[in-house]
Amino acid sequence: MHNTTHSVIEDIFALVSAGLFVAFGVFLFQSQDLMVGGAAGLALLGTYAVDMDFGLLFFLINLPFYTLAWTQISKRFTFNTFISVTTVSILTEQIPAFVDISHINPFFAAIFGGILIGVGMLIMFRHSSSLGGVGILAFYLQSKFNIRAGSFQLAVDSTILLTALFFIEWHLVLISILAAICLNMVISLNHRPERYFPTADAKTKNKKRNAKGTQQEANVASELHPQNS
């Protein structure tokens, strides 16, 4: 009864939808000069240092990581992650043409934006995808050198937020931490694969074993969640 595989059409529709959630969350963050971790955070920092849009920077930053994803995880995961990253890159640049926010409370932007990005990432995880970036490198370092992915990702994200102090007000960095907490809570409270495979008979367990490869990709994606990007 529990089939974790998806068709190509299902994957594409889900990942584009997820990309819209993430892109709108990033749009809210940008409107209030808030930060996030992972490749998205690096791209946001980059917009302060160079004259480039977030979407293009986010796309370029992710390019080197696809090789690791292809060789260390799976081709399907790499392809789906490329779709997710490309969708977010395009939509973050197009949303301002359709949405004009004259006023928004930064705390609301942090909470709602964090939740939106978290929901988008959950959808990506269910479809063997992620926002790529530093999380893929973290997974590689863990698998090859036994460096804990979570610890590495936390170190990178903390560095990004500390570096942001050179570009944005300190209170905005604190609000960005609130956004990160909301994002991570959405994922940690909802991405629990065992909840979707309740105890059942042997036949159901066999089906679970057949779906093991797909589930492993989803678990890899959850390890890559950075708050991540």
* Residue 86 amino acid letter: T
What average pLDDT score do residues 169-184 get? 93
Tokens matching residue 135 = 């999380």
Long-range CB contacts for residues 103-106, cutoff 8 Å, separation at least 24? 104/28, 104/31, 104/32, 106/32, 106/34, 106/172, 106/175
- CA 33, CA 155: separation in Å to the nearest integer? 22
Question: Which pLDDT does position 138 carry in this prediction?
Answer: 82
Between residues 44 and 192, the one the model is more confident about: 44
CA distances (Å), origin 86, targets 4, 19, 91, 186: 24, 8, 9, 23
Angle at 132 between CA 141 and CA 70, to 5 degrees: 70
Between residues 228 and 154, the one the model is more confident about: 154
Confidence of residue 145 (pLDDT cuts 50, 70, 90): confident
- Evaluated on CA atoms 92, 93, 99, 104, the torsion sign reads positive
What pLDDT digit, counting tens, does each position of 22-41 carry? 999 999 999 999 999 889 99
Domain ranges of the chain: 8-223
Q: What are phi and psi of 181, to 5 degrees?
A: -65, -45
Question: Which pLDDT does position 200 carry in this prediction?
Answer: 43
Question: Which pLDDT does position 94 carry in this prediction?
Answer: 95
Question: Which pLDDT does position 132 carry in this prediction?
Answer: 86
Which of 95-99, 128-132, 166-170, 225-229 shows the lowest mean pLDDT across its residues? 225-229
pTM score > 0.85 for this model?
A: no
Question: Which pLDDT does position 229 carry in this prediction?
Answer: 52
Confidence of residue 93 (pLDDT cuts 50, 70, 90): very high
Looking at residue 226, what DSSP letter applies?
A: S
Element (H, E) at 158: helix 149-164
- CA 28, CA 110: separation in Å to the nearest integer? 8
- CA 216, CA 128: separation in Å to the nearest integer? 9
Question: Which pLDDT does position 165 carry in this prediction?
Answer: 93
Tokens matching residue 41 = 């955070």
Looking at residue 168, what DSSP letter applies?
A: S
Angle at 180 between CA 59 and CA 55, to 5 degrees: 15
Question: Is the pLDDT reported for residue 18 higher than 90?
Answer: yes
Q: What is the mean pLDDT of the chain?
A: 83
